[in-house]
């Protein structure tokens, strides 16, 4: 059972405001040193060199989108096991199905509260201290 401060998290979203809101909420939950990247490509570069426990990624991003990032993460043995949560706000149900098929751990629907974020994370990691 990890404490939030032990979980190394990576936020991926093309919108700085969304990233920062999430990072700030995560800091409230006790996360430390949350890393932010602005698209799938940058995220993969980061994951290549750094051990990460959790990726929270947006769906719709220019270039490599959230689904493609999830697929790339799962297909690399080094990162295959990390927790992957997709941030949705998307009205398109088709993509959600694809994400489930690709092995997403959970979804975080926008807008969310800190409580909702905690609940979403706990469904993946178990109770977070």
Written as six digits, the tokens of 1 are 């059972």
CB atoms within 10 A of CB 72: 17
Contact criterion met (CB below 8 Å) for 3 and 129: yes
Comparison of 75 and 110: residue with beta carbon closer to another protein: 110
Q: Considering the rule CB under 8 A, would residue 129 count as an interface residue with another protein?
A: no
Closest approach of another protein to the CB of residue 65, in Å: 10
Using CB under 8 A as the binding rule, whether residue 127 contacts another protein is answered as no
CA distance 2 to 126: 8
What letter does residue 112 receive in the DSSP assignment?
-
Distance from C-alpha of 51 to C-alpha of 62, rounded to nearest angstrom? 25
Among 45, 75, 76, 97, binds another protein (CB under 8 A): 97
> Which positions touch another protein (CB under 8 A)?
1-3, 5-8, 14-18, 20-21, 24, 28, 31-33, 49-51, 53, 58, 60, 62, 81-83, 88-93, 96-97, 100, 103-107, 109-111, 120, 123-126
């Amino acid at each position: 059972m990890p404490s939030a401060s032990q979980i190394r998290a990576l936020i991926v979203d093309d919108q700085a405001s969304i990233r920062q809101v999430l990072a700030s909420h995560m800091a409230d939950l006790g996360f430390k040193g949350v890393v932010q990247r602005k698209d799938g490509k940058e995220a993969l570069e980061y994951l290549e060199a750094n051990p990460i426990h959790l990726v929270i990624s947006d769906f719709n991003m220019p270039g490599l989108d959230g689904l493609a990032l999830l697929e790339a993460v799962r297909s690399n043995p080094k990162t295959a096991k990390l927790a992957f949560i997709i941030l949705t706000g998307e009205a398109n149900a088709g993509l959600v199905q694809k994400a489930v098929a690709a092995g997403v751990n959970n979804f975080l629907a926008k807008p969310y509260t800190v409580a909702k974020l905690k609940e979403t994370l706990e469904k993946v990691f178990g109770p977070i201290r």
